[in-house]
Chain A
Amino acid sequence: MTPEHLLPILSAGFVAFTVLAYITLDGFDLGIGILFGLERGSQDRDVMVSTVAPVWDGNETWLILGGSALYGVFPVAYGTILPALYPLVIAMLLALIFRGVAFEFRFRAEGPRSRFAWDMSFLAGSTLAAMTQGMILGALIQGIRIRDNQYAGGWFDWLTGFSVFCGLSVVVGYALLGACWLVWRTEGELQSRARRHARVLAAMTLGLIVVVSLWTPTLQLHYLRHWNVWPRILYVAPVPILVAALAALFWRSINDERSHLMPLLCALGWFFLCFTGLGISLWPWIVPPSIDLWQASSPPASQVFFLVGAAVLTPIVVGYSAYSYWVFRGKIGKETHYH
């Protein structure tokens, strides 16, 4: 294997890791925002926000890392996907602005009216961010029209039934992560309600996973081939089986009052498996159906520089991020302050 062949594979692995880290970590933050739609009590909302206030910024940083990594090691992908999905990307950025400032502003609001406005901006911002992220995913899966390494499609190519469906799926999936997070990090009434939400959301999520999985292979022949060719199917068959196994585990633990963390782990497991399945479908494309990893990548000098930094720094980053989670461990109740 030449470096020209190997380096983009390593970089792609790192980008995939970054995206997965973002989806799972910011997933439950955004899920908390989405659950504002179900939880109206002002004290409950305070508790919900407090469970993520110290860590949300770090979670969101994975999104920046993903963007900058694409920019540096797959500039052709960065420079075609973003113009192609321009309205979606801008909408996502604006939504993240609303939900990000709401973290600070809602606690500084003077009077119930402005408090209400920032709560709404938290709810709407989180929901729209989740929706647009799902639609970006859907639009990418269904393919982007390219000529001469530039986007060659129209303004609204991304808007299809499939992308909208993906958007809704991600909203539901993030809400599930949020509910499971609350089961873990809260207690009492709020926790019981979070369990109820999680049960419904999990059923919906599983249904959506099935539909998207059946829908995806019909979009490009290529995807179908990845799943149906013997003996490859042997490698990928575990994915659906594991999803089912996790479902069994999830239902046992969500109904068990003594189990706090397990539902979240199961939900994260689903996300991980779906992401893996997606990777299997897309490989080796980065902008389906015309640009693969190697066509998209920057020269070896950029890849090496990037990979060395990523290899050395990522463990350190994960280390102190974990430390910060650990500092703020434990249940957050109505009466507990940080102490």
Chain B
Amino acid sequence: MFGISALDLARAQFGFTVAFHILFPAFSIGLAAYLAVLEGVWLKTGRQVYLDLYRYWLKIFAIGFAMGVVSGITMSYEFGTNWSRFAQKAGPVLGPMLSYEVLTAFFLEAGFLGVMLFGMNRVGRRLHFAASCMVSTGTLISMSWILASNSWMQTPAGYTIDKATGRFLPADWLRIIFNPSFPFRLVHMGLAAFLCVAFAVGAVGAFHLLRDRRAGRAPTEPVRVMFSMAMWMAAIVAPMQILAGDTQGLNTLQYQPAKIAAMEGDWESRGRAPEILFGIPNMRTERTDYRIEIPFAGSLILTHSLDGKVPGLKQFAPRDRPYAPIVFFTFRIMVGLGMLMFALGLFSLYARWRGSFYSNRWLHRFALAMAPSGFVALLCGWMTTEIGRQPFTVYGLLRTTDSVSPIALPGIATSMLVFVVVYFVVFGAGLLIILRMMAREPEIGETGPDPRQPTRAAGQHPGPAQGQPDGMGGHALPAE
């Protein structure tokens, strides 16, 4: 049918659902950490503004988290529905790791999420803070396990292969978990999650700064504090991410040279290679057209020496090459956005120094425009990683064509269609709800997400009742 195979659709469906999924976990990982920090600072200083910010973001967190959970459940079953042969061969290695993720992370998040959302008045402040920390820890543990799995698929280690069945047999669990690319990916992904949230929070702050200014109001304290915290994160974490990305590139050069060649758009292996800034890799003619390049820079960046040898795609048989045009561009978008983030960080430092941090409209506009930058960079990074691993699911060992389930095309096409519709409707609605909540300015005496609040029962908000310190707040307010 139109030259599309069941395999293509199985891949498209998996890529689509996982790409949706990863947006929410990244948001949850970053936001949970931010919330734990806010609550900790509130406990330490007793300043109302941190509690207000905590409650403001907690309500948004609840929505994002729910979407992360439901989209994640889909993922854990799609290994079986779409990749049954992969599941049978790699399950002995990856399945137990996923089970450990459930037991050490998902239960931890779920167990303490209820307390975090609704329990402030039931358990007291310190235990509540402990619950927030547990949820945040859970998201970080979850990230570690899933990245260990994914890294193992990129750089497998610690296994043997059973001749008769072609199955991977675990031989050394420590080497499986701490496989060669895991530490690099973990750092890069963790920083990416923090950047996603830093730029989202910064953009919300910038939005209210701009709006208040237009309305001739002075911005409230929560708005100023959140913008400032976000810009500190940007200034500090963006350069760290660039360093982390660079080391990750060195690791990939060592273990997945074909991927590096595709990311760079290089066809010939050579020393003193140029860095191609722009071009269009052409898989048929085996060259990169319309190139703009910097001489020697390719070798310099990848090997940190002028005549270091850089791999080219021709070194690999055509059937072992990843599809370069996509990888080439997703990689450049990610790196470009990383540079822009760095630039915004520098700009914010400059504005602070000049004392125009809360009044410089260009700074606020820039920050607002960067709202989705973290998420876009994140998706581009993942696509580089995953598509660059093709045509293998377990790099160099198990081909994607040998991983797919024996499912007929019409069935998978139908489910693909349903997935697309449902995801856009449901998660689109969720995004709208989140944006609407972000468009509302945080208030002094912000209420919590307790569903039994009278404002809710009346079915309406934001009403004046929102400002009342009741529900989750009540006597938990610090005595001032």
Contact = CB atoms under 8 A, between A and B. Distances in A.
Interface string A295-327: 000110110011001100110010011011001
A34 B450 CA distance: 23
Contacts of B408: 155
A57 B94 contact: no
Contacts of A150: 84-85, 406
Interface residues of B, number: 85
A111 B458 CA distance: 10
A154 to B, nearest CB: 9
A53 interface: yes
A61 interface: yes
A83 B80 contact: yes
Given A53-B118, A324-B112, A328-B119, A313 B103 contact: yes
Interface string A142-162: 000000011100010000000
A49 B451 contact: yes
B215 interface: no
Contacts of A58: 107, 110-111, 113-114
Contact of A301 (B72, B170, B452): B170
B291 interface: no
Interface in B43-85: 62-63, 66-67, 69-74, 76-77, 79-81, 84-85
Interface residues of A, number: 77
Interface in B91-147: 91-104, 106-115, 117-119, 121-123
A317 B103 contact: yes
B422 interface: yes
Contact of B114 (A55, A70, A100, A313): A55
Interface stretch (B198-206, B227-235, B319-327, B426-434): B426-434
Contacts of B84: 78-80, 82-83, 150-151
A104 B63 contact: yes
B46 to A, nearest CB: 22
B253 interface: no
B280 to A, nearest CB: 37
Given A46-B457, A53-B114, A105 B93 contact: no
A328 B405 contact: no
B105 to A, nearest CB: 10
A286 to B, nearest CB: 13
Given A317-B103, A320-B111, A327-B123, A97 B118 contact: no
B95 A90 contact: no
A100 B69 contact: yes
B91 A78 contact: yes
Contacts of A29: none
B103 A75 contact: no
A301 B171 contact: yes
B350 interface: no
A50 B452 CA distance: 7
Most chain-B Cβ atoms within 10 A of its Cβ — which of A49, A57, A70, A317? A57
A305 B107 CA distance: 19
A271 interface: no
A79 B111 contact: no
Nearest to B17: A93
Contacts of B106: 61, 64-65
Interface in B408-432: 408, 410-411, 415, 418-419, 422, 426, 429-430
Given A71-B99, A112-B459, 6 more contacts: A71-B98, A75-B95, A80-B84, A107-B456, A328-B114, A338-B450
Interface of A: 42-43, 46, 49-50, 53-55, 57-58, 60-61, 63-65, 67-73, 75-76, 78-83, 86-87, 89-90, 93-94, 96-98, 100-101, 103-105, 107-112, 115, 149-151, 155, 298-299, 301-302, 305-306, 309-310, 313-314, 317, 320-321, 323-324, 327-328, 332, 336-339
24 contacts: A50-B452, A54-B118, A58-B111, A60-B73, A64-B73, A64-B76, A65-B102, A65-B107, A68-B101, A72-B92, A72-B96, A73-B96, A75-B89, A83-B405, A96-B73, A97-B422, A98-B426, A100-B66, A108-B437, A155-B410, A321-B107, A327-B119, A328-B114, A338-B118
Interface of B: 62-63, 66-67, 69-74, 76-77, 79-81, 84-85, 87-89, 91-104, 106-115, 117-119, 121-123, 162, 167, 169-171, 173, 405-408, 410-411, 415, 418-419, 422, 426, 429-430, 433, 436-437, 450-454, 456-457, 459-460, 470-472, 474
